[in-house]
Structure 1
Amino acid sequence: MSKSHTIEKKAIPEQKGGNRFTVSDALDSIKINKFTWSIFFLVGLSMMFDGYDYMIVSYTMPQIAQEWGLDSVAKGSLSSWSMVGLVVGSFLAGPLSDTFGRKKIITLSVFFYGLMTIPVFFAPNFTFFAVMRVIAGVGLGVCTPIVTTLFAEFTPTRYRSFFVTFGMAWMIVGWVVAGVVGTAVVQVASWHWCYLIGGLPAIFAFFLWKFLPESPHWCANKGKTAQAVEVLKLIERRAGRKIDCVLEAGNIIIPPKPKTAGPRAVLSPKYIKITIGFWIVYFAGNFAIYGVNAWLPSLMLERGYEVTSAYALAIAQNAAAVIANCITGVMAEKIGRRRNLLVGFAASLVSIVLAAQVAGAYALVLGVMIFLGFALNYMITAQQPLMAEAYPTEFRNTGVGLTVAVGRIGGIIAPVVLGALLSLNLGYANTFMFLLIPIAIGMLAALLLIKKETKGKTIDDLNEE
């Protein structure tokens, strides 16, 4: 990008409605509108189905283990198989969507994981179940990073953090739906039916393809300025508001492209420190969250709770996560992304100690589980805006995808590790206290390695940093 473009970019505020503009200028000029909310629901539903597909394993785990006679380690691995695919998919998500576009890849991923979940309905044994969960997991892994990126790229600067974090709440909604469906189905029918329901995203993918436009940031970054203008005009029509720019292809300022792209850029000297920080933080968060989610229903059953009471505790802590996702987005805009992340880690440390020690009245246990779900998800969701904002458009989704992939490894091993600890008869309290280790390490990484603050900066400003 030439110097003249940079100068023109800085002159934009004095020329609103004039010739030169960035995609961020166009989106910021119409603020939050009907189109923004349509993206929130459309892309969010993709995340909800994703969340359901993963979490339904936790609510069918006791029945599957009983039917196939699985020990604690094999039982814990039921939640890990889809995570293996998730890691593979997350690695693929960035390069694919940065190259071929957000719309194509997210639509294919939703269709794929929905279609590949249906065969689990017919699963005759553990091996078949494991193989199909790995395959479906690839689609799940591709979906998640693109959702984060789409929320960041379609939202006005002032509200970006809120929509990225609030949008991730859709995954938690999927967890809650899985809990409700799982609780109802396993009491009246076979657990297999839960996975037939999990095939619905294959149908939803057609609606996604029809109504989701391509990211105008991606179009502009690829030099497809005519397509970017068409998308902005579509946004203008759906928003019911006039974009305060002259929407012509020649007027779009294309952000300067980085010297390298892809995984090499993410691991370049400029980004290596924050990338490693993201990886450690996301690994720690996923280890804690997926470890708790995989085992909490079973642990509550083993402590003597009835199915409905045990599952209600798990559903409650997931429902609290939805509230956490909303609040963390607001707080990130008020106190900054980095400080918000540290608050999440501090709350998580407290919640783990309380969850490990709580006993007695059901209402007390319920209250602690609600706080646990709130704190853990506040912690991991607080990282979402930082991930989406730390890298330029050229390799934004590669950076997000790699972070999600590494984090998912924590999600893979956590259920197995906790299962192994339980098999050693360490007990409920000691198993929970073990989770303090990854959370403490994650907090140190956030404190020492993640120094960047992105609050209030446009996508195009961040591209030039």
Structure 2
Amino acid sequence: MPEHPRTVHLPGFIDDRPIGRLQCIVLALCGLVMFLDGFDTQAISYMAPSIAREWGLSPSAMGPVLSSALVGLMIGYLVLSPLADRFGHRAMVIAATASFSVLTVLTTFAPSVEVLLAARLLTGIGLGAAAPSAIALTSEFAPRRRRATFVLVIYCGFSLGFVAAGMAAGTLIPLLGWRSMFLVGGVVPLVLVPLLWRLLPESPAYLIRRGRPVAHTLRRLDPSLPADTEVRSADQPDAHARIPIVRLFERRWLLGTLLLWLVFAINLAEFYALQSWLPTILENLGHPTSTVVTATTLTTVGGIAAALITGPAMDRFGAGYTLGILYVVGAVFVGVLGIVFGASLWLLLCVTFLVGCCVSGGQKSVIAFGSLFYAPDMRSTGVAWALGIGRVGGILGPIVVGLAVGAGWSTAQLFTALAVPMLVAAVTVLALARRRHQDAPAPHTQTRQPHVAVPD
């Protein structure tokens, strides 16, 4: 029998193998982390009215509490997430999940709004640290032909967490009070931590950079691989490579990084503007509460449905071109939405669903695009900073729309204006796709290098 090769190269080793049990485990565990992340992020919105009533607070007093977790998310994205490049993505996912679960449980006992605000800020930091490493691990263990699909699948978990939070709130708060939501949101991820510790593998690229054994991880993909196999990475930076945060601002990456931030900011501005103002606009136009709830929910459902199509399309036809087309179509439907508020109910709901496909679906897809845009050793940092900086758009979007509504803009004028940034995002993504193709980092040009080397 021929001797088994003793040297393998990444990412070719993963790319050339069928999807197996290990990839399914990574997909399931990281999807669960994202689901719980979304649940915890959204749950406070449903608890806010009950908290305000119990503590005798005005609605405006709850504003800082609702925003504190979002501020924490930014800190987690920008400050903690890059530490995964030093301590490992597996360690970051486990530590961040344990952190936000324990803090959420402790929040159950918050005696005042000041303590609640501080607890939500710290919880948000943990939530922000978990997501980028979960995305990086999922991306690294996915074969290239399914990478965008894998990332979109786990990010759908985040949206499903939003939906689950609403369903749980409708059942738990009337029966057990608002503290029960914190208890559920903290205990469930705490139960997940031992599974993450037992089953979640570490990033092979991280292990190679740290000079640690990798073969035992790859043997979970291919048990026939000898234990003493040497693993090399075509994407491994040289010994003098700068830390990932610094690399984002190097000449090779700077323009691409800034343009990617712009796209993230536009998409999050559109998403939060839609989520914040669509219910108010519908109510002001006289639509019943059932229509308001259905239309707003359809924007989230549309994003999940779109991910089932855009993921495979990004893998097959190219991430940038698929996302660019999605944004162009989104610009059309956002503009159309402004003129169908007075039309029949079914037409309004159909257009709202399609807007959700492009805006909420675009939010998931641009994260997949970012994970493909950056090299593996800087992927989590690049995506984390794009998410963090993009939050600025998420903050400004509702404010700008509020000013337009206050100035008396019609729905047609408002949504026509909202369509323009979607076109800007489309052009920017297409430019990024072209730039990424022409100016790929040197290691990615080594596509003809065989992934398996026969020993001497």
Query: For the superposition of Structure 1 and Structure 2, which TM-score range results when normalised by the shorter chain?
Result: 0.7 to 0.9
Q: 1:281: how far off?
A: 0.5
In structure 1, the partner of 2:215 is 229
The amino acid across from 2:196 in the alignment is: L
- Structure 2: how far apart are the matches of 1:312 and 1:125? 34
- Structure 2: how far apart are the matches of 1:186 and 1:408? 29
- Structure 1: how far apart are the matches of 2:200 and 2:28? 11
Return the TM-score normalized by structure 1: 0.82
Task: Verify: 1:209 aligned to 2:197, yes or no.
Answer: yes
Tell me if structure 2 keeps the 8 A contact 1:24–1:458: no
In structure 1, the partner of 2:39 is 52
- Structure 2: how far apart are the matches of 1:209 and 1:34? 17
Secondary structure at the counterpart of residue 54 of structure 1: helix
Alignment of 1:89-238 (within 5 A): 89-122=76-109, 127-185=114-172, 190-199=177-186, 200-224=188-212, 226=213, 228-236=214-222
- Structure 1: how far apart are the matches of 2:301 and 2:261? 26
Task: Verify: 1:260 aligned to 2:249, yes or no.
Answer: no
- Structure 2: how far apart are the matches of 1:16 and 1:418? 66
CA spacing shift, 1:419–1:144, aligned 2, 3 Å: farther
CA spacing shift, 1:141–1:365, aligned 2, 3 Å: same
The amino acid across from 2:266 in the alignment is: A
- Structure 2: how far apart are the matches of 1:65 and 1:37? 43
Q: Percent identity?
A: 23
In structure 2, the partner of 1:284 is 266
Tell me if structure 2 keeps the 8 A contact 1:83–1:409: no
CA spacing shift, 1:136–1:427, aligned 2, 3 Å: farther
- Structure 2: how far apart are the matches of 1:236 and 1:78? 48
Tell me if structure 2 keeps the 8 A contact 1:98–1:396: no
CA spacing shift, 1:205–1:141, aligned 2, 3 Å: same
Q: 1:253: how far off?
A: 4.9
Out of 421, 446, 450, the residue aligned to residue 429 of structure 2 is 446
Which stretch of structure 1 is more off in the superposition, 191-200 or 313-322? 191-200
Which stretch of structure 1 is more off in the superposition, 309-318 or 336-345? 309-318
- Structure 1: how far apart are the matches of 2:266 and 2:334? 13
- Structure 2: how far apart are the matches of 1:297 and 1:64? 22
Secondary structure at the counterpart of residue 21 of structure 1: strand
Mind listing any 5+ residue stretches in structure 1 that lack a counterpart?
1-14
Tell me if structure 2 keeps the 8 A contact 1:62–1:298: no
In structure 1, the partner of 2:453 is none
CA spacing shift, 1:110–1:448, aligned 2, 3 Å: same
Q: 1:99: how far off?
A: 0.8
Alignment of 1:305-344 (within 5 A): 309-344=291-326
CA spacing shift, 1:428–1:209, aligned 2, 3 Å: farther
The amino acid across from 1:50 in the alignment is: D
Out of 347, 362, 366, the residue aligned to residue 383 of structure 1 is 366
Q: 1:115: how far off?
A: 2.4
The amino acid across from 1:69 in the alignment is: S
CA spacing shift, 1:432–1:59, aligned 2, 3 Å: farther
- Structure 2: how far apart are the matches of 1:260 and 1:464? 23
Q: 1:50: how far off?
A: 0.9
Which stretch of structure 1 is more off in the superposition, 189-198 or 393-402? 189-198
- Structure 1: how far apart are the matches of 2:81 and 2:415? 34
In structure 1, the partner of 2:255 is 273
The amino acid across from 1:154 in the alignment is: F
Which stretch of structure 1 is more off in the superposition, 352-361 or 325-334? 352-361
In structure 1, the partner of 2:58 is 69
Q: 1:22: how far off?
A: 1.1
- Structure 2: how far apart are the matches of 1:344 and 1:416? 25
The amino acid across from 2:260 in the alignment is: F
The amino acid across from 1:234 in the alignment is: R
Q: 1:26: how far off?
A: 2.5
Which stretch of structure 1 is more off in the superposition, 112-121 or 392-401? 112-121
Tell me if structure 2 keeps the 8 A contact 1:391–1:462: no
Secondary structure at the counterpart of residue 435 of structure 1: helix
Tell me if structure 2 keeps the 8 A contact 1:221–1:255: no
Aligned residues: 440
Secondary structure at the counterpart of residue 214 of structure 1: coil
Out of 219, 223, 228, the residue aligned to residue 248 of structure 1 is 228
Mind listing any 5+ residue stretches in structure 2 that lack a counterpart?
449-456
Tell me if structure 1 keeps the 8 A contact 2:139–2:151: yes
CA spacing shift, 1:247–1:354, aligned 2, 3 Å: farther
CA spacing shift, 1:189–1:358, aligned 2, 3 Å: farther
Tell me if structure 2 keeps the 8 A contact 1:51–1:174: yes
Residues 90-145 of structure 1: CA deviation (Å, up to 9, x unaligned)? 11344211111011111111121222233554556654443332221111111121
Out of 9, 22, 36, the residue aligned to residue 9 of structure 2 is 22
The amino acid across from 1:218 in the alignment is: Y
Tell me if structure 1 keeps the 8 A contact 2:25–2:200: no
In structure 1, the partner of 2:383 is 400
Tell me if structure 2 keeps the 8 A contact 1:80–1:416: no
- Structure 1: how far apart are the matches of 2:252 and 2:45? 40
- Structure 1: how far apart are the matches of 2:79 and 2:170? 34
- Structure 1: how far apart are the matches of 2:337 and 2:378? 39
Which stretch of structure 1 is more off in the superposition, 25-34 or 36-45? 25-34
Tell me if structure 2 keeps the 8 A contact 1:351–1:371: yes
- Structure 2: how far apart are the matches of 1:372 and 1:167? 21
CA spacing shift, 1:81–1:418, aligned 2, 3 Å: farther
CA spacing shift, 1:316–1:339, aligned 2, 3 Å: same
Tell me if structure 2 keeps the 8 A contact 1:283–1:410: yes
In structure 2, the partner of 1:4 is none
Secondary structure at the counterpart of residue 236 of structure 1: coil
Secondary structure at the counterpart of residue 324 of structure 1: helix
Secondary structure at the counterpart of residue 220 of structure 2: helix
Q: 1:63: how far off?
A: 5.7
The amino acid across from 1:346 in the alignment is: V
